[in-house]
Amino acid sequence: MTASARVYLDYNASAPMRPEVIEACAQAMLLAGNPSSVHAEGRSARDAIEAARDQVARLVEGASSRVIFTSGGTEAANTVLSSALHRAGEPGAERLLVGAVEHPCVRDGHRFPIDAVDTIPVDPDGVGDLGWLRDRLSASSRGRTLVSLQVANNETGVLQPVSEASALVHAGGGILHTDAVQAAGKVPLSMAELGADALTLSAHKLAGPKGIGAIVLSEGVEIEAGLLRGGGHERGRRAGTENLVGIVGFGAAAEIARRDLDREAARIAQLRAGLESELRRIAPDAVIFAVTRPRLPNTVAFAVPGCSAETALIALDLDGIAVSSGAACSSGKVRASRVMTAMGVDPALGAGALRLSLGWKSSDEDVRRFATAFEKLTQSLYKRRRAQAA
């Protein structure tokens, strides 16, 4: 089967690069100068970076002077989640409150002592418990607090109450970081409306190149040089010659995502509705997670009782359909999903969780192709059930 014949339903893992982004990257490759050099070639490279910085800032309605480019969302989150992030003139945080369903780069990538970290619990749909957060923030004797709550979950697509959380955090004198990696380009984002002091992004989730991300800071919040030191790059906040090609591609992807957001969100939401309708038709006992909650328009997380994720992934892949498991995947091995565990999903059901995520190339034909392959898979499952019951 050729690559062109396959159906790609794994945009939350990585989105195919748009042709316009590839062209922008190709043009950036022709810029010979070092962005830190003062000659004409260097100034041309610097101009390209600053133009991209403006484009990324516009995507989240932030200030371009507050955008710091990194090697990706993981470096961005790792850098932010430390005492290096602080309000101007104040020391850094002493404790961290982190959502139970955060991405591993947030949940495991911080640099706080383990006894200074608490986990914000979630309800059965994976939404953060603001009552718990309010109570914990009231324990002011425990010191200055950094709270990290994602905009949208990568497995279920559930949107978190970030703006409500930020009001609580700020009332208690704390700082709020939000991981917007999955949300960027799929739902509108505004630093001010979210109330975020720091927001992190990754280009390849919105059809940009891999290996480039960003931190966006609000006014009045500063961050010391994090993992990479030894140069004045990125206004002294992140050392190392900038990834010119990646940054330019990131900017192009951000600009396209902002331009097309409303139209694409509506189109993709219709495709998702079609997917969910097909799931219910083919497998009436399928459980679609958090279906009544606000979610990203492109994401469906579901499980069919008795159907293991590993079996389904292999079967669908052989039929030319690329999807993800709700479980964490590392080195080709499927492990129990911490998101499903935090939501209190029955372990047997959670072990079968699959994620379908749509994007800019997705079509009605993709939905039809998936339905055909999924129906074949479930018919085999139901046939085994009947044989076992006989």
Catalytic residue list contains 329: yes
Q: What is the per-residue pLDDT for 334?
A: 59
Catalytic residue of the set 25, 105, 307, 329: 329
List the chain residues with pLDDT less than 70: 1-4, 140-143, 225-236, 239, 326-335, 390
Q: What is the per-residue pLDDT for 5?
A: 86
Q: What is the per-residue pLDDT for 4?
A: 54
Q: What is the per-residue pLDDT for 98?
A: 97
- For domain 19-256, give its CATH number from 3.30.2390.10, 3.40.640.10, 3.40.50.300, 3.20.20.70: 3.40.640.10
Q: What is the per-residue pLDDT for 232?
A: 56
For 329-346, write each residue's pLDDT tens digit: 444 555 678 999 999 999
> Could you tell me which of 329, 380, 379 has the C-alpha nearest to residue 353?
329
| 200 within 8 A of 67, measured Cβ to Cβ | no
Q: Which segments of the chain belong to CATH 3.90.1150.10?
A: 3-16+261-389
Q: What is the per-residue pLDDT for 240?
A: 76
Q: Note the pTM of the prediction, 2 decimals.
A: 0.93
Q: What is the per-residue pLDDT for 331?
A: 43
| 288 within 8 A of 300, measured Cβ to Cβ | yes
Q: What is the per-residue pLDDT for 101?
A: 97
Q: What is the per-residue pLDDT for 236?
A: 56
Domain 3-16+261-389 listed as CATH 1.10.3980.10 = no
CA 195/CA 303 separation, integer angstroms: 34
Report strand pairing: 221-223 vs 85-87: antiparallel
For 198-241, write each residue's pLDDT tens digit: 999 999 999 999 999 999 999 999 887 666 555 656 665 775 77
Q: Which segments of the chain belong to CATH 3.40.640.10?
A: 19-256
